[in-house]
Amino acid sequence: VISGTVHVQPAANGGDVDFYRVELADPDAVAHGSSWTVQANGSRHIELSLSATVVPAGVSQIIVRAGNSRGVSTGFKSAALVDLFPYLPGNVSWSGDVDVEPGVIAGDVIVEPAESEVGIKAYIAYWYDGVKMEEVARATPRGHGVPTSLPVQYGTEMKADWILVVSLYRWGETDEGSLVEVVDVNGTDDARRLGGVAGAHAASASPAKASKSGDASDLWLVKPAGSSKLVWSPDLKVAALTARGPRVRSAITLPGLDAKVAATPKVRAAFAQAVVAVLRLTKFDDVRILRVSELSQEAAAQMRPGGRRLAAPVERALRENPTAAKVDFEVTPADGRTVDRVEARLILLSTGGLAAARFDAALAQALAGVGISLPAAGAALRFRIAEPQQLRRRKAGNAVVGVGAGAVALATASAAGADGGAGSMAGAAAGTPGGDRRLEGVTIDTTAEEGAADEQAGAAVLAAAIAGAVAVGATGCLALGHIRRRAGGFGGKVLLSEVGSSATGTGQPLQGVCVHGDSHDAE
């Protein structure tokens, strides 16, 4: 389905043309489906609005002919309809924090090129903590297959642990994006971490391994000792429920537990069950798992509680198993007045002691119920609970993000969902049917190209109007922009395609025709 506006610019010496015929045609210029006739108005610009028009199978171009009382020109001008999908940013990494002030960061978000950067106006980075937050940085793609750097300025307040990067087109942002975890380095750290952590993406590779610097005197060159990779996060409909009111967030780290196992629905439910029990909450729904991450061996070691010894079996498991699981969760008490009590109990758990030992036992029991056995721990702890963070209500209506298998889908915060986040992405993956897609096109001059990749742009964008004639040696141009496509329909960008013409007797030329799409058509 297409929707747009056909712009007809007659030649300067036009006068005998009474109307113009606009048709959908196959590669042989045989018309199919709808056609339109627009009355000529001398040499004045003519516009024809196309609303929600179904494009028949086999149609590959739009053609325009000039006509009068003696007939319609056999010569015409055509432009190809080419499907152009919105493309996600490539893999994303973080250069490392070079601002040593605590709570603030500076560095670069490095974005690998999208599969095609044609039509991409910018890559935009947002803070992400289970919901899409405010913008961090943006930059125009460099093109030519070169990664794009999105600079994060000195003194930028760190508002979340993750940054989401999306592609911006003329019609708006992509329905997916890529995630990267950001680590704040401050002046009290033993080392300045400047290495990156690879982001989560539908087709992302394993995170790059960073090595330690051997020169202790050159702390600015020391890279992170470990890395983290997102394994699971709720789908967009469940993530939309994040901003429900006052809540507390924390995380559990279990060395030696496979993150992919921890990400399964039954294990996530077991984690939630244990948290409900130890916090003495009344409703299971008060606890929601936000994401499950896989930590490298070195990163897991860094997650150990300060000053407390992990159980010997866990220490051994940590040495033998290269990864650990980190489960981020959120507690939203049904009675908002108890949120302070929940935060206090989580702080107590994060410091160890008897309460932490009870939680250790509750967690082990809950996991055993779903077939997961933790090493016997004795009096030592098998886990680490991060110090909690209390959050207040967010304004509804922001776009939210859900990540499944590394892909990110966006929707409004009014969306609702089921299954606690293990559900489908509803066509979120690029090229998957079922998602609402938008197709981008623009009109430019004969030498400029749209987007950052010049080589690609030559095959996907338009040249401007080329003078000529449709009636006797007709030439012109068609440009289609802002067309949106839904699975089962057809949409695309119209390309310039000169076609030979012949005389008909109308006697007047057509200078140019352009088609501009309508961003209001969602099919």
Residues 48 and 136 in one domain: no
- Please give the helix or strand (H or E) that residue 381 lies within, else none: none
In a domain, 419, yes or no: no
**pLDDT score recorded for residue 223:** 35
In a domain, 415, yes or no: no
**pLDDT score recorded for residue 288:** 87
Distance CA 361, CA 348 (A): 16
Q: Contact, 345 vs 331, CB < 8 A? A: no
- Entry pTM: 0.38
For residue 110, what are the CA distances in angstroms to 122, 138, 374, 429?
Answer: 13, 11, 38, 22
142 CB burial (10 A radius; 0-12, 13-18, 19+): middle
Other CB atoms closer than 10 Å to residue 388's CB: what's the count? 21
Residue 102 pLDDT greater than 70, yes or no: yes
Residues 49 and 90 in one domain: no
As for how many domains the chain has, the answer is 3
Residue 277 pLDDT greater than 70, yes or no: yes
Q: Which domain holds residue 154?
A: 86-225
Bigger pLDDT: 427 vs 381: 381
CATH of the domain at 146: 2.60.40
In a domain, 238, yes or no: no
Residues 250 and 382 in one domain: yes
**pLDDT score recorded for residue 297:** 62
For residue 494, what are the CA distances in angstroms to 62, 204, 320, 402, 487?
Answer: 8, 32, 58, 33, 19
Distance CA 316, CA 501 (A): 80
The gap between the terminal CA atoms of the chain, to the nearest Å, is 5
Residues 347 and 217 in one domain: no
For residue 161, what are the CA distances in angstroms to 38, 123, 158, 212?
Answer: 56, 19, 8, 22
Q: Contact, 238 vs 131, CB < 8 A? A: no
Residues 146 and 201 in one domain: yes
Residues 170 and 36 in one domain: no
pLDDT confidence tier of residue 319, bands split at 50, 70 and 90: low
pLDDT confidence tier of residue 340, bands split at 50, 70 and 90: confident
In a domain, 429, yes or no: no
Give the residue among 447, 427, 451 at the shortest CA–CA distance from 437. 427
In a domain, 414, yes or no: no
In a domain, 506, yes or no: yes
DSSP letter (8 states) at residue 413 = T
- Picking from 393, 414, 446, the residue at the C-terminal end of a domain is 393
**pLDDT score recorded for residue 442:** 30
For residue 505, what are the CA distances in angstroms to 17, 115, 244, 486?
Answer: 10, 48, 70, 42
Residue 117 pLDDT greater than 80, yes or no: yes
**pLDDT score recorded for residue 318:** 59
The residue with tokens 């057509």 is 510
Handedness of CA 139, 142, 147, 151 (dihedral sign): negative
**pLDDT score recorded for residue 439:** 29
Residue 409 pLDDT greater than 80, yes or no: no
Residues 388 and 445 in one domain: no
Residues in CB range of 306: below 8 A, 6 or more apart: none
| 249, 137, 435, 415 alpha-carbon torsion, rounded to 10° | 40
- Please give the helix or strand (H or E) that residue 110 lies within, else none: strand 104-111
**pLDDT score recorded for residue 83:** 57
In a domain, 308, yes or no: yes
pLDDT digits (tens, 9 = 90+) for 491-522: 333 333 233 333 334 444 455 555 544 333 33
Residues 55 and 106 in one domain: no
Question: What is the greatest pairwise CA distance in the chain?
Answer: 98
Q: Tokens for 464? A: 């401007």
Residues 249 and 221 in one domain: no
